[in-house]
Amino acid sequence: MGHYKIDNINLFISERGTGQLIVFVHGFPFDHTIWDRTCNVLQNDFRVIAPDLRGLGQSELPDGWNITPMEQFADDLHFLLPRLGIGEKRGEKIVICGLSMGGYIVMQYARKYRNELAGLVLCNTKTITDSPAVAENRRKQAAGLIDGTLELRSIADAMIPKLFAETTSKEKPEIIQELRAVIESNQPAGVAAAALGMAERLDTTELLGELEIPVLVICGSEDQFSPPSEMKPLAEKAKHGTFAEIPNTGHLPPLEQPELFANTLKKWIHSLPQ
């Protein structure tokens, strides 16, 4: 674990294990810790890296920075990896996995840097743009965070009831409290900048049909934000797509069912062309 400087800011990463590299990209408004349980399962088989994105968790946001486009997050990851000695070996490629907002980011990574990828994982996410109403709500949310009329606690209150499967809510309350602490301890300016970036993102659905790399689309069976009925068609759209549904989970399978999520991911990675 540690901080690495790129573009005059410090980005924090969690790193463990050896072997095929998997980069895990967290969602909004979280940090790298949502991947901890999954990485604990995978670290004996792979090199796993989970960064805090710009302005979130322990990573910095530049002074006066107002909006973080999804492309900027992808560029940050691209320039971070050589600092970790990744890409120095000829032909070395990575698997990149993005959850929710992280999915928007890894699609931008695939758009710009697809030659660096051995595989792409879309977890509980979308490829379409926000509706006008959702985009406007993100802008209001960002404005409230900046002027202090909205607290991260209120964002947690609104999001958490929709994030988890019923089984998780009943049997794993500690996970819910853990996530609440992550949201409430985040950086308001960084959360606001990410919200504005999501509101401005473009549709990447057609890109799926252009990619020559394997794509895993993985989804919680009870996800209210990106249900299986919306995610399965993404796997069908991809040239080399695979769909997997994780039972008894909502929007956060890596937290709710980390072993099943990790083993599903492991099996798919072992199937990739060598």
Q: Looking at domain 2-270, which CATH architecture does it have?
A: 3-Layer(aba) Sandwich (3.40)
pLDDT at residue 185, as a whole number: 97
Q: Where are the domains of the chain?
A: 2-270
3-state class (DSSP) for residue 193: helix
pLDDT at residue 197, as a whole number: 98
Taking 50 as the pLDDT cut, the residues of the chain under it are none
pLDDT at residue 89, as a whole number: 60
Residue range 49-59, pLDDT digits in tens: 999 999 999 99
pLDDT at residue 239, as a whole number: 95
In percent, the amount of the chain with pLDDT more than 70 equals 98
Which segments of 176-239 are extended strands (E)?
Answer: 215-220
pLDDT at residue 92, as a whole number: 82
Interstrand relation of 2-6 and 9-16 (parallel, antiparallel or unpaired): antiparallel
Contacts for 35 with CB less than 8 Å, ≥ 6 apart: 14, 24, 26, 48, 50, 254
pLDDT at residue 91, as a whole number: 67
